[in-house]
Amino acid sequence: MNFSEALRETVDRVDGAVAAIILASDGIPVEEYVTERLIDFNTLSAEASALIKDIEMASRDLQLGKAKEFALISDVCGILMRRITDGYYLALVMKPESNYGKARFVLRTTVPKIEKEF
């Protein structure tokens, strides 16, 4: 499965999802599929880099091992991010009323499909 297909399928499987993005941990977007722009994705990419570093440091400091998933939920949207490999994450952007449980499940099942491409 190529990245474009995987991202489209990820968005299509979650009611309220509007975008899926593969991001490098340095904030560079690798691939994206967008049906609606709730936020600026260039800004998301840049800010995600800082979030990833902070979460990785906190996880390490707490001796929790590697962080696999994290979420930022606001009035405007929800963003779930799941680690693909050490340097890459899959982000799903959703409307606030989306089903976050299903989104977590979809991310968890999508990552193994694209992980082998890295």
Domain residue ranges of the chain, discontinuous segments joined by +: 3-115
| pLDDT tens, residue by residue, 8-39 | 999 999 999 999 999 998 888 899 999 988 88
User: What was the pLDDT predicted at 5?
Assistant: 92
pLDDT at 110 over 90: yes
CB 50 within 8 A of CB 26: no
pTM, full prediction:
0.89
Give all strands (DSSP E) within the chain, no chain letters. 17-24, 29-34, 69-73, 78-85, 88-94
pLDDT at 109 over 70: yes
Q: Does domain 3-115 have CATH number 3.30.300.30?
A: no
Q: What angle do CA 28, 91, 60 make, to 5 degrees?
A: 80
